[in-house]
Amino acid sequence: MNSKVDHRKPRLVFFQWDHQPNANAAGYLLLHMQQQVKCLATHFDVVVVNRDCDYAEICDRYEPDLTLFESGYRSHGSRRIKITNTTTNIAVPKLGLHNADPWCDRRAGFLSDMEQWGIETYFAIATMTPEYMPAVKENLFVWPNFIDPEVYHDYGQQKVIPVTLTGQAYGLYPWRQTIFPIIRDRYPCLVSPQHAYESKLASRLLSGEAYARALNASLVAPTCGTMGGEVVRKHFEIPGAKSCLVAERTAAVESAGFVDMENCVFVDSSNVVEKLDYLFAHPDEIRRITAAGYDLVHSCHTLTHRPQIYQWFMLSKGLQVGERIIQSGPFGELAKVGRTSMQQSVHIVGEASDRALLKQGDLLLEQGRVEDAKHCYERCLDFVSYLPEAKFRLALCALQEGDADRASGLLIDLVKVTMTDYGAPDPDPVEWAYFLLALICRGQLKQASKLQDFYPSLFHDEIRRAHLVIAQLGGSADAVVPRSDGSDRKSVHQLPDRTDSEWLVWFTDILERCQRPDLANGLRLATLGGSAAGENTKAPHFEADAGLRLRLYSGIDGLMVKLRLNGLRPNVPPLPEFRYFWHLARGLVPHSQRGSLRKIQMALSRPPRSIRN
């Protein structure tokens, strides 16, 4: 009996954001998204879904073997799609794709998406992502950047440009900030303008074949992988277009196979002129290094050399109970090992400048040197102005200094990025827990109590501790949330390892610093004597206007719940800081009429003419 062999590719449904062409966006961003689909298509029959949809209906229609969900993108005109009903079709394996920089402030949104969609295994395009999301690194693999050889190859251009300088060179790129001016002042250069992704001028930047041809006509082109020591697309595009790569030496770049003076040139500010003078005086050396870099990229780093997602799919199909999947390196293959094996996925750690500053600041904060710690965290913001870890730690510093208002403001901003800017179903659990604690430090215990269950599915040990404080200060120790069972929501933040007793001592001290001696004494008594707290804690004081306003917000939100209008209820806390009424109105207005709503909002927020003039 003859049996037919099924040679069809497995079907992958890729839930990709709506990356429609934008007249003001950089053209290469859209090309990157198209090339990702092209890469997946080397191993899968790919169906792209980039619209709001019902997961069950999509699975019924396309019968996928695997589904992949893009998430965590820092939108530059792209729209995050809404996907419902993801708890169905449990036989179809699901993967998450973190398609963003490892330090991105949408990571909390990514983790929220993964929880909502029931996804426990993730891929990232950045080699350093495991360093920036250690809470999930055991289930995180790298699907690294690559080139499309149909775009990046040898066009046979005459080498008429000594040096091409492309890419941004602001604080995120300290190596470029130092190296680019040195090169620009000494050698003839083709210099591309540094337009931001969101700039209306970004569409004028070279992209695709035009960019590849410019590189192909250049002898050398420098780039770096940001303060994070990342491997960016330029590391492959430059040698892939047969130009000599000049770069910063990092562990990630070396892991991609680059070797100094063999297939690239590693430089720093002390030797860049010496090395380039040598190369320009020895054209045979440039040709040799350029050819070797070209061979490396086209033999290891094109879209045909990125099978990691396909490998995971094939390995997972036959995975036994006592087995797990690991990756041999950020550019390596995936393999099965025994669950008790000592082998782990190989990640790159310890190279990022902001991580070093965070660790230094944490040590200083632990020693009580708050001002020095703040300096470290603020230096992180010089690299990335929106870095969540630095902003959260500055909020901790503010609490240490007794400035609950500043702490609250920083935490509100963090929650708003995830909830409003990104549109996640819930915030980072640690940020939410400390927002509740900051409310208490401002004397708003009742408000914290009302908000503590606003996100009922958000579990974390720090939220449990916030609930513990609220219960004890409110004299309701019986309402304490039970100890975490290990199903905590993952967070982008790591906190000192403290017992509950140690933590309560710390927070009692914070209350004292924030001029809340009544609450500090109440918590101290509750810790020592249980429910006696209710008899010794004064109710928090509110100004009349503030109390009335807060009651109005809470009352409207409670009414929405009573009327069973949860579908229209905003997913932000009922507070003016989160623009609750704006979100409520937005939910009530049809999508087609939201332009008018925005005009009204702008008119209301516009200062009077006399002030503007």
Per residue in 336-375, pLDDT (tens digit) is 999 889 899 999 876 799 999 999 999 999 999 999 999 9
Query: Taking all residues of the chain, what is their mean pLDDT, rounded to a whole number?
Result: 88
H or E segment to which residue 97 belongs: strand 94-98
**Per-residue pLDDT at 191 exceeds 60:** yes
Neighbouring residues of 187: CB distance < 8 A, sequence distance ≥ 6 = 162, 163, 276, 280
* Per-residue model confidence as pLDDT tens digits over 104-146: 999 999 999 999 999 999 999 999 999 999 999 999 999 999 9
Question: Which of 420, 360, 354, 362 lies closest to 388 in space, CA to CA?
Answer: 354
**Per-residue pLDDT at 13 exceeds 90:** yes
pLDDT tier, 271 (very low <50, low <70, confident <90, very high otherwise): very high
**Per-residue pLDDT at 484 exceeds 90:** no
Question: Which of 135, 132, 125, 222 lies closest to 183 in space, CA to CA?
Answer: 222
The arrangement of strands across the sheet holding 218-223 comes to 189-191, 161-165, 218-223, 244-247, 265-266
Tell me if the domain spanning 161-303 has CATH number 3.40.50.2000: yes
Neighbouring residues of 451: CB distance < 8 A, sequence distance ≥ 6 = 436, 439, 573, 574, 575
Asked if 571 and 419 count as a contact pair (C-beta separation under 8 A), the reply is: yes
**Calpha distance 479→467 (Å, rounded):** 8
Cα–chain center distance at 163: 33
The arrangement of strands across the sheet holding 94-98 comes to 45-49, 11-15, 66-71, 94-98, 122-124, 140-142
Of the listed ranges 318-322, 347-351, 377-381, 563-567, the one predicted with least confidence: 563-567
**Per-residue pLDDT at 518 exceeds 60:** yes
Cα–chain center distance at 72: 6
Sign of CA dihedral 462, 463, 464, 467: positive
Amino acid at 255: S
Question: Is pTM, for the whole model, over 0.85?
Answer: yes
pLDDT tier, 611 (very low <50, low <70, confident <90, very high otherwise): very low
**Per-residue pLDDT at 539 exceeds 80:** no
User: How many other CB atoms sit within 10 Å of the CB of residue 102?
Assistant: 21
**Calpha distance 63→49 (Å, rounded):** 13
CA distances from 345 to 290, 381, 437 (A): 32, 30, 37
Give 44: exposed, middle or buried? Use CB within 10 Å, 0-12, 13-18, 19+. Answer: buried
Q: What is the CA radius of gyration of the chain?
A: 27
Q: What are 222's strand-pairing partners?
A: 246
**Per-residue pLDDT at 533 exceeds 50:** no
Average pLDDT over residues 18-41: 82
Average pLDDT over residues 502-528: 92
- pLDDT of 22: 64
Only one residue has tokens 């720093």, namely 268
**Calpha distance 107→611 (Å, rounded):** 40
**Calpha distance 380→172 (Å, rounded):** 10
pLDDT tier, 1 (very low <50, low <70, confident <90, very high otherwise): very low
Phi then psi for 262, rounded to 5 degrees? Answer: -110, -55
pLDDT tier, 23 (very low <50, low <70, confident <90, very high otherwise): low
**Per-residue pLDDT at 214 exceeds 70:** yes
The second-level CATH assignment, the architecture, of 11-144+306-338 is 3-Layer(aba) Sandwich (3.40)
- pLDDT of 199: 64
Which tokens in the block code for residue 593? 């009429």
Percent of the chain with pLDDT strictly greater than 90: 73
**Calpha distance 89→603 (Å, rounded):** 47
pLDDT tier, 542 (very low <50, low <70, confident <90, very high otherwise): very low
**Per-residue pLDDT at 487 exceeds 90:** no
Neighbouring residues of 60: CB distance < 8 A, sequence distance ≥ 6 = none
* Per-residue model confidence as pLDDT tens digits over 411-462: 999 999 999 999 999 999 999 999 999 999 999 999 999 999 999 999 999 9
Sign of CA dihedral 50, 54, 59, 62: negative
- pLDDT of 419: 95
- pLDDT of 287: 98
Give ∠ CA 96-54-90 in degrees, rounded to 5.
55
**Per-residue pLDDT at 205 exceeds 90:** no
Give 38: exposed, middle or buried? Use CB within 10 Å, 0-12, 13-18, 19+. Answer: middle
Question: Which of 362, 26, 352, 355 lies closest to 174 in space, CA to CA?
Answer: 352
Neighbouring residues of 234: CB distance < 8 A, sequence distance ≥ 6 = 166, 167, 221, 223
**Calpha distance 350→329 (Å, rounded):** 15
